[in-house]
Amino acid sequence: MNVNKHTIDWNEIFNFKNIALNIIGVAFITLALKGFMLPNKFLDGGVIGISILLHEILHLPFGALVLVLNIPFLFIGKKILGNTFALQSLITFVLIALSINFVHIEAVTSDRLLIALFGGCLIGIGMGFCIRSGSTADGIEILALLTTRKIGLNVSEVIFGINSLLFLAAAWYFGISTALYSIVTYFSAVKSLDYISQGVEQYISLHIISAKSDEIKDLIANKFRKGITIIKGERGYLPDSFDEKWDCDIIVTIVTRLELLRIKEEISQLDAHAFMYIQYIKDASGGILRLKPKH
């Protein structure tokens, strides 16, 4: 059943899996902030980074800053992604604010490199879990989504631009060294977020053009148990023999990065001259993606 984005899907809100993922995400974010970043004045990007900066400059409660600064983005998210997303995100913001105020965690370390790496990884993992629960832990991504529609830049470019200004402010107030370590924290967080939100098994589109296409089809379908799609094309058109051409099958299959190397190696054994190229894709569903091999 399709749910209008202007209504609230209460089944989604009270889904046990989503609640568990959200709580796990908030727990990781709290550990990153209180165990690593806040005691050592390290910044992440986005609203959380802005909240840390204002907390240190104005001495306002950090939890309240995270909640208040994220509220305006909920109205944007409500219009773009619907009421269910906005309510789930509000719950996430409230949980972060409460955990920051009421959960006590001692600083784990004062080593700057460890703070940058582990603090960034933990907060990225936490945000990834929140995204998988159907919410967001930082409203800056909603702002970036709106901005891309207005000025034509992609989300990554907008977030990078906003965070560049934030890290410049950190360099001015905390010193260049802390700002540089904060950049490491941010990139650690982004990489960890990608792994959690997209999964370790990121899907890759593998294209193969070969004179031995029938053998390669058999290899992919029957040995690796992967689905294939065939695009009819032409080979040839080389610089020294432009007029020579042959009909060919362009084989397309979706694999994970964990499978990619082995499949490419076996294709190369069948045809050392096979032309292969890959495209990274954000998501894939349906078809044969995770079929188990025959025993």
- CA distance between the termini of the chain: 38
User: How does pLDDT run across 85-135, given as a tens digit for each residue?
Assistant: 889 999 999 999 999 999 999 999 889 899 999 999 999 899 889 988 888
For residues 110 and 154, the model is more confident at 110
Residue 117 has a pLDDT of 92
Pair 43, 55: CB distance under 8 Å: no
Q: Dmax of the chain from CA atoms?
A: 75
Nearest by Cα to 166 from 149, 150, 143: 143
Checking if the pLDDT of 71 tops 50, the result is: yes
| Residues with Cβ within 8 Å of residue 185, at least 6 apart in sequence | 37, 42, 43, 44, 115, 116, 117, 119, 120, 123
Q: pLDDT grade, residue 156 (50/70/90)?
A: low
3-state secondary structure 74-117: HHHHHHHHCHHHHHHHHHHHHHHHHHHHHCCCCCCCCCHHHHHH
What is the residue type of 182? S
Q: pLDDT grade, residue 2 (50/70/90)?
A: very low
pTM over 0.85: no
In order of 103, 176, 220, 253, the CA distances from 265 in angstroms are 51, 46, 12, 15
For residues 169 and 26, the model is more confident at 26
